[in-house]
Amino acid sequence: MNTKQHLGEPEAYWNRAGEVSYAEAMYSSADVERHVRLRLWNIAIDIADELGIPRSGRVLDFGCGDGAFANETLAARYSAIDGYDLAPAAIERANAAAPGTHLKFFSADLVTLDYDALPRYDGVFLIGILHHIKAATPDVLRSLTKVTDRIVVLEPNGNNIVRKLLEFTPSYRSAGEDSFRTRELTDIFSQAGWRTLVARRLNLFPNFTPSLAYRLLAPVEPYIERSPLLNALCTVNMFGAVRQ
| Domain range list for the chain | 9-243
Arithmetic mean of pLDDT, 209-219: 93
Architecture of domain 9-243: 3-Layer(aba) Sandwich (3.40)
At residue 40, does pLDDT exceed 80?
yes
Task: Please answer whether residues 59 and 124 qualify as being in contact, where contact means their C-beta atoms are separated by less than 8 angstroms.
Answer: yes
The chain-wide mean pLDDT, for the chain, equals 90
Query: How many other β-carbons are positioned within 10 Å of the β-carbon of residue 235?
Result: 19
Percent residues over pLDDT 70 in the chain: 89
Phi, psi torsion values for 60, nearest 5 degrees: -115, 130
At residue 128, does pLDDT exceed 90?
yes
State the SS3 of 111-127. Answer: CCCCHHHCCCCCEEEEE
Phi, psi torsion values for 6, nearest 5 degrees: -90, 130
Chain centroid offset of residue 209 CA: 19
At residue 5, does pLDDT exceed 50?
no
Phi, psi torsion values for 174, nearest 5 degrees: -65, -25
Question: What is the tens place of the pLDDT at every residue in 47-74?
Answer: 999 999 998 999 999 999 999 999 999 9
Phi, psi torsion values for 198, nearest 5 degrees: -130, 130
How many angstroms separate the CA atoms of 223 and 163, rounded?
A: 20
Q: pLDDT band at 27, cuts 50/70/90? A: confident
Query: How many other β-carbons are positioned within 10 Å of the β-carbon of residue 86?
Result: 26
At residue 164, does pLDDT exceed 80?
no
Is residue 213 within a helix (H) or strand (E), and if so which, with residue range? helix 211-217
Residues 6+ apart with CB under 8 A from 171: none
pTM passes above 0.85: yes
How many angstroms separate the CA atoms of 58 and 54, rounded?
A: 8
Task: Please answer whether residues 73 and 142 qualify as being in contact, where contact means their C-beta atoms are separated by less than 8 angstroms.
Answer: no
- Residue 140 has a pLDDT of 97
Percent residues over pLDDT 90 in the chain: 76
Task: Return the higher-pLDDT residue of 14 and 62.
Answer: 62
